[in-house]
Amino acid sequence: MNYPSVKRISECLSVEKAIAKQIRGVMDGSIDPVTVGTKASQYVKDCFNRPDQHVVKLYAIDELHETYGVEGFDSVYGTADYCNAGDPYIPTVLYFPGESRFRIGCQGDYVKLSND
């Protein structure tokens, strides 16, 4: 699977390289998301059944990137989950289950494409 590079994560999300490495590690599975802070582990505990792994990863990334929770939307590319950056045009981490792929981008750009 293809993942954004540490350099791209650092530059696009305006985070330090150490945080970008952790985000990349969560994405590629080399870091267990429930060991990163408390949001991912609490989310798993709150669910009756084990949630999809990509959502658990997004909760860990949400905590690392200091965003405002994990949400979803529909677009021409299918449904997507993302870390809410507070503004739809601030770059964030998105996950498209149909492609099984993490992306760095703006949620607003994908929604706008769907409405055009």
Q: Each residue of 58-78: pLDDT tens digit? A: 999 999 999 999 999 988 778
- pTM for the complete prediction? 0.93
Which amino acid would we find at residue 87? D
Direct distance between the N- and C-terminal alpha carbons of the chain, in angstroms, rounded to an integer: 30
Range list of H helices, 14-106: 17-28, 39-46, 53-65
Q: Each residue of 13-61: pLDDT tens digit? A: 999 999 999 999 999 999 999 999 899 999 999 999 999 999 999 999 9
